[in-house]
Chains A and B, each alone.
Chain A
Amino acid sequence: MTLMALFHESADTAEVIDELHNLGIADNKIVVITGLPYPEGALGRHREWLTLPYIVLAGAAAGLGIGLFLAVITPHLYRLDVGGHPPVGFPPAAVIIFIFTMMATIVSTFLGVLWEMNFPRFGPAPYHKLVTDGHLAVILDIPTRLEGQVRQMLETHHAHHVGEPERMTL
């Protein structure tokens, strides 16, 4: 079953998560929602591994390729001589290749992060509006037998609004 609890303080939240770990509830069954980013490890959980850097590198390579094609290959496709310069010169080619690499890096970072976050996602999801007012929400997926224990532990740590999470359309 799923439970959601709201907390005022990050210290309480961290302790609750430790207790949950002690009760044997794995990290992937706990979702912590906050209105501001907390530093790594502040709430006792591991950072997940991201594919974003690889997406960015792939994007940069693609940009390099496009830049190379436009700057180095297109002048040979329809050859037009201009005064005093060879069809492909190093400085203009360098500028174009650089710009396209950076353009692709930026675009792939943006699209990559959206893809990795599975955005846009507008369906119903567990959420509470008070999160943006400074509360920390913890959403748990626990076996029913532990419900009583967990609720007890949440109360001890000053949780409020404990209950089934409302699936809000976001």
Chain B
Amino acid sequence: MSEPEDMAQEIRQTTPYDERLLLAQRTDSEINQAVLQPMLQTGKGFWVLVTGLSLIVAWGVYAWSYLIYWGIGVTGKNRPVYWTLFITTFVFWVGISHAGTMISAVLRLLKADWRRPITRGAEAMTAFALMMAGLYPLIHLGRVWKFYWMVPYPNNRLMWPNFQSPLMWDMVAIFTYLIGSSLYLYLALIPDMAMARDHTGSWRFKLYRVLALGWRGTEGEWHKLHRALGIFSVAIIPIFLSVHSIVSWDFAVTIQPRWHSTIFAPYFVIGAVYSGLSALASILVVVRRGMRLQEFLRAEHFDSLGKLVMVAGMAWVYFWFAGFIVEWYGNEPVVRELIREEVSGHLAPFFYLQMSANLIPIALLVFKRVRTTPALLLATTLLVNVGMFTERALIVIGSLQRNDLPFNWGNYRPTWVEISIVAMTFAGFALLYTLFSRIIPFVPVWEIKEGRLRYTMRRIGRLLVPTAAEID
């Protein structure tokens, strides 16, 4: 037998390398079908899920209309706690959105091939999380019907919005990031729309035909797409870093004790990466099971993703501590009181929940067993997001409860309106994601095929190792 056939047989016999997606012995047409089949099948479970989520969303929309009609008083807000769950969840969703860019842009530039099957799921997560986040600046407005006054357009009042306000920076930044990630998602999607167009019929064919924009796959088209994706990857990184920094400045530019901290910008960004990557891991475990994508989302991907989450978690701890030690040491009266509230007062249960839910996963993710077992990874990463949501609630709500004049101290209790609206965005995100998974191929097929070009098996001494070629 010749060398290549020899090696091929050895590859088939040696199990560890079959675990590598980019070395799997599958034809292009088999990959196409493996990705398209789950999209075309909608079982009972799917419809139960969609109905349930739609009901929660509908209830949330009712709660929002109730809020608009009766006023913000139907929430639990009061003086001094003017910002509560809506802003908390807003920050949370913006945080979740950061993982998508991390995976698709940063890892693309670093040429980490394990990002290939997950990049579209990650970008979709970004786009949908931003859509949910973008609702909150509207929801929390007292007079939401006047929201357009924040839009800079020439008007007969001759008034422009106040660009010194962090809320304006928020609006502009989130809008930019939403546009950027949606366009990025769509651009990388075009070749797969062409593939789907070629293999489906009826309404799907019509839809994919329009979305594919007449893509054929000529060399010129690929070259231009690659250039555009390269520029996008580079351009979207400063955007993603700036968006959560800007959201953090909503708090840090005020002189409210515990908000006025210079470390907020990097602290929030790293918290976003931690929380977003965990959410991505949770979603991927669920999608892998629900859409039977075990072939594409393998142990190697969860292993690498788990390591990234762990590193982000460790960085989060560093930034948290850097902020905390300065506050604790400074002993400013109100800050000291806030820390006391957190560590041994009314907020203590939340604080300890936050710390344990953020720290335990870091320890757990050290073990490869946890990273590569889907159920364990799901539990761990869900715990991270419980912790990160609590962390944001403590920052937003906890800090507002105390301030410079003790007469103005207050407490907060959420109401059904706030909880319903928060649930609405969680259900809305899940709903969008579920529908997305049935309409758009979840796995970027062309990127996997491109990745396979890079990988071959090579012999080094007695070992047969996978090697990656140095091509773009």
Contacts and interface: CB of A to CB of B under 8 A. Distances in A.
Q: Do A and B have CB atoms closer than 8 angstroms in the complex? A: yes
B232 A77 contact: no
B34 to A, nearest CB: 13
Interface string B200-236: 0000000001101111111111111111100110011
| Size bracket, chain A contacts | 35 or more
Nearest to A170: B214
A82 B194 CA distance: 54
Contacts, number: 179
A75 to B, nearest CB: 7
Contact of B232 (A92, A106, A121): A106
Given A75-B160, A103-B180, A43 B187 contact: no
B304 interface: no
Nearest to B454: A39
B163 A35 contact: no
B216 A109 contact: no
Contact of B472 (A40, A43, A99, A107): A40
B219 A34 contact: yes
B158 A74 contact: no
Contact of B224 (A40, A52, A80): A52
B280 to A, nearest CB: 22
Contacts of A56: 231
B163 A70 contact: yes
Contacts of B163: 70-71, 74-75, 92-93, 96
Nearest to B173: A99
Interface string A50-94: 101100100000000000001100110110101001000100110
B215 A74 contact: no
Contact of A131 (B27, B160, B217, B224): B217
B162 A132 contact: no
Contact of B29 (A37, A40, A125, A134): A134
A102 interface: yes
A145 interface: no
Interface string A40-54: 100101011010110
Contact of A132 (B32, B180, B220): B32
B135 interface: no
A105 B160 CA distance: 24
B176 A103 contact: yes
Contact of B198 (A40, A82, A116, A132): A132
A89 B184 CA distance: 33
Contacts of B210: 120
A149 to B, nearest CB: 24
B228 A113 contact: yes
Given A43-B219, A106-B179, A35 B195 contact: yes
B159 interface: yes
Nearest to A41: B471
Contacts of A132: 28, 32, 194-195, 198-199, 217
A32 interface: yes
Contacts of A129: 198-199
A31 to B, nearest CB: 5
A148 to B, nearest CB: 26
B215 A170 contact: yes
Contacts of B183: 106-107, 109-110
Closest 6 CB pairs of A and B: A134-B28, A113-B228, A121-B214, A36-B449, A74-B160, A133-B29
Interface of A: 31-40, 43, 45, 47-48, 50, 52-53, 56, 70-71, 74-75, 77-78, 80, 82, 85, 89, 92-93, 95-96, 98-100, 102-103, 105-107, 109-110, 112-114, 116-117, 119-123, 125, 127, 129, 131-134, 170
18 contacts: A34-B219, A35-B217, A35-B449, A36-B446, A43-B219, A52-B231, A92-B169, A99-B172, A106-B179, A110-B183, A116-B224, A121-B213, A132-B28, A132-B198, A134-B29, A170-B197, A170-B215, A170-B216
